[in-house]
Amino acid sequence: MDPLTRCLACHARLGEADVCPRCASDFSISRRARRQATALARMAVQALASGHHRQAAAAAATAVQLANPLLAQAVARVIRSREEK
Ligand SMILES: [Zn+2]
């Protein structure tokens, strides 16, 4: 499930949109990172099930590193856009 269901800036519903229909905040980078992190997490599960623990750990660690910094960047961008208004 995508936890980004509402705009972080104005709380409008986002639905499937990457850009908020009300305030035009862009969440495309955050959503792309989350999709890639999810794919990596699935790869980690498969690797773990196949007994490739080192591969699983690397994929899982990359997923965490991928999603968190980009999400933090998106939040910082939203905060900056709010300060400009
Ligand atoms: Zn918005």
CA distance 66 to 59: 10
**Dihedral pair phi/psi, residue 20, rounded to 5°:** -60, 130
Mean pLDDT by 10 residues, the chain (85 residues): 82 93 93 87 87 85 74 54 71
* H and E: helices and strands count for the chain: 2, 0
Distance, CA 27 to ligand 1 centroid (Å)?
10
Distance 9 CA to ligand 1 centre (A): 5
The rounded Å distance from CA 8 to ligand 1 centre is 7
What are phi and psi for residue 51, nearest 5 degrees? 85, 10
Q: Whole-prediction pTM value?
A: 0.64
What pLDDT does residue 74 have?
A: 47
Residue 23, pLDDT score: 95
pLDDT reported for residue 48? 82
11 C-alpha vs ligand 1 centroid, how far in Å?
6
For position 19, what pLDDT does the model report?
A: 95
Relative orientation angle of helices 53-84 and 28-49, to the nearest 10 degrees: 170
CB 44 within 8 A of CB 65: no
Q: How far is the CA of 19 from the centre of ligand 1 (A)?
A: 8
